[in-house]
Amino acid sequence: MKLFEYMEKYDYEELLLCQDKASGLKAIICIHDTTLGPALGGCRMWTYDSEEEAIEDALRLARGMTYKAAAAGLNLGGGKSVIIGDPRKDKSEALFRAFGRFVQGLNGRYITAEDVGTTVEDMDLIHEETDYVTGISPAFGSSGNPSPVTAYGVYKGMKATVRQAWGDDSLEGKTIAVQGVGNVAYNLCRYLHEEGARLIVTDINQEAVRRAVEAFGARAVDPNEIYSVECDIFAPCALGGVINDETIPQLKARVIAGAANNVLREERHGDQIHELGFYYAPDYVINAGGLINVADELLGYNRDRAMRKVETIYDNIEKVFEISRRDNIPTYRAADRMAEERIQAMKNARSTFLQNPKSILNMKE
Ligand SMILES: NC(=O)c1ccc[n+]([C@@H]2O[C@H](COP(=O)([O-])OP(=O)(O)OC[C@H]3O[C@@H](n4cnc5c(N)ncnc54)[C@H](O)[C@@H]3O)[C@@H](O)[C@H]2O)c1
Ligand SMILES: CC(C)C[C@H](N)C(=O)O
């Protein structure tokens, strides 16, 4: 990848490589865009096959966060970080504290939180070194683990998408294929099960599968079977890039709606599923619940206020489908348009100098 060419093409601000020999930390922090406010985005810990793959992931995820915050109506920019390593073996206090010091060094331009492979306990260690971290323990007045709230938002967004496809938003009797039953999807499955949906689940972690089968009477299938099972809704809740040339021809679902970030391997796959008549809920619109929740910490956390804002994901999904129909474009493009228009409008509005800009968030009691 030609880094500067790529960064220029998608308007990235900053890419930071962080290494600390003593703790073994190798991390990447990427700030995509801070037009709307500080870049808030999670920290992923993953065993990447190469450094290039890790950098690419950080870049793509950071850009997604800019769009996520903009589409959710938050005054936050987009950023993300990745720590290269195995979350089951390579974690230590020293590693997360070293990472925290790099975050502190950015002086608030980047605020971190959980993502795949990191937990509230890890955020608490980062918090030893910096206040620019969210999703820490509730004992600090924080919102804790964002995953259950992300799940609630995905549930609401899935219902809104189902309404587009079938005219009413009930999930009762719908068969839903869930890929990955980790932190978000386990909580999502609970909502789906309570509403009377039939669940098919898969995960590369057998323990996660067993939990979902026992708790929700889900049917388990092998990871490579999940694309082709007979179902109404495909819910990608593991990693990105799963809507691609190989998987699209296998899909039997009518709706694609899940928690995973960067679901489309390439933009052209979003065009393809649109032409084929799938109802796709754009990833960063439907999975914004966790971000909305941790963002509320910056105001002094109020769970009711945060949950009310998470419920607007239903309306945001409806807006995306409206734009898609109005402009005859795929939903992923409609979501981009919605986010880009807001960023541009705020860029223009902020051209006037103000001594004391108002609070960085626009959520009100
Ligand atoms: N946690 C949040 O609040 C949040 C918010 C927004 C988006 N997301 C996104 O949602 C997705 C899930 O996040 P999470 O926090 O639940 O992570 P998680 O690590 O708890 O869960 C992911 C699950 O997917 C499984 N998995 C990985 N590769 C797989 C494969 N090829 N096939 C089947 N299963 C596979 C893992 O074993 C794990 O159980 C990620 O893409 C994340 O970026 C999470
Ligand atoms: C909780 C959020 C700040 C981060 C989350 N992993 C996301 O992708 O939205």
Q: Which ligand is nearest to the CA of 178?
A: 1
Q: Whose CA is nearest to atom 42 of ligand 1?
A: 260
Ligand 2 binding site (Cβ under 6 Å of any ligand atom): 40-42, 113-115, 135, 146, 261, 287, 290-291, 294
Ligand 1 binding site (Cβ under 6 Å of any ligand atom): 114-116, 146-147, 150, 179-180, 182-185, 202-205, 208, 223, 237-239, 259-261, 287, 290
Lowest mean pLDDT among 14-18, 111-115, 253-257, 351-355: 351-355
**Which pLDDT value is given to residue 364?**
47
CA proximity to 27, closest of 42, 16, 35, 40: 16
270 pLDDT exceeds 50?
yes
Query: According to DSSP H, which parts of the chain are helical?
Result: 3-9, 51-71, 93-105, 120-127, 147-166, 183-194, 206-216, 267-275, 283-286, 289-296, 303-327, 331-349
How much is the average pLDDT of 105-109? Answer: 97
Q: Which ligand is nearest to the CA of 260?
A: 1
Residue located via tokens 């979501």: 335
**Which pLDDT value is given to residue 357?**
57
Q: Confidence class of residue 348 from pLDDT cuts 50, 70 and 90?
A: confident
Question: How many A from CA of 261 to the centre of ligand 1?
Answer: 9
**Which pLDDT value is given to residue 347?**
86
Give Cβ neighbours of residue 114 (< 8 Å, ≥ 6 apart): 42, 43, 120, 122, 123, 135, 145, 146, 147, 290
How much is the average pLDDT of 336-352? Answer: 89
> In sequence order, what are the beta bridge partners of 43?
81, 114
Question: Looking at this protein, which amino acid is placed at residue 51?
Answer: E
Six-digit token pair at 13? 């601000």
Q: Which of 68, 80, 156, 309 is catalytic?
A: 80
80: annotated active-site residue: yes
Question: How many A from CA of 116 to the centre of ligand 1?
Answer: 6
pLDDT mean across residues, the chain: 95
Question: How many A from CA of 207 to the centre of ligand 1?
Answer: 14
CA dist 62 and 31 (Å) reads 6
171 pLDDT exceeds 50?
yes
353-364 pLDDT, tens digit each: 666 655 555 554
Q: Whose CA is nearest to atom 11 of ligand 1?
A: 260
Q: Which atom of ligand 2 is nearest to the CA of 293?
A: 1
166 pLDDT exceeds 50?
yes
Q: Which atom of ligand 1 is nearest to the CA of 208?
A: 39
287 pLDDT exceeds 60?
yes
Q: How many residues does the chain have?
A: 365
In whole angstroms, how far apart are CA 23 and each of 127, 162, 224?
17, 47, 37
Instruction: State what percent of residues in the chain have pLDDT above 70.
Output: 96
Q: Whose CA is nearest to atom 25 of ligand 1?
A: 180
CA dist 192 and 338 (Å) reads 28
Question: Looking at this protein, which amino acid is placed at residue 50?
Answer: S
Residue located via tokens 């006037």: 352
**Which pLDDT value is given to residue 351?**
72
Q: Which atom of ligand 1 is nearest to the CA of 288?
A: 6
**Which pLDDT value is given to residue 359?**
54
Question: Looking at this protein, which amino acid is placed at residue 293?
Answer: N
The answer to ipTM > 0.95 is yes
Lowest mean pLDDT among 86-95, 303-312, 346-355: 346-355
Q: Confidence class of residue 127 from pLDDT cuts 50, 70 and 90?
A: very high
Q: Whose CA is nearest to atom 9 of ligand 2?
A: 291
Report pTM. Answer: 0.94
Q: To test the ligand 2 pocket, which listed residue (110, 115, 309) has its Cβ within 8 A of the most ligand atoms? A: 115
How many CB atoms within 10 Å of residue 59? Answer: 22
Q: To test the ligand 2 pocket, which listed residue (30, 143, 150, 298) has its Cβ within 8 A of the most ligand atoms? A: 150
Query: What is the separation, in whole angstroms, between the first and last Cα of the chain?
Result: 45
E strand or H helix that includes residue 77: strand 77-84
288-302 pLDDT, tens digit each: 999 999 999 999 999
200-251 pLDDT, tens digit each: 999 999 999 999 999 999 999 999 999 999 999 999 999 899 999 999 999 9
Q: Whose CA is nearest to atom 6 of ligand 2?
A: 115
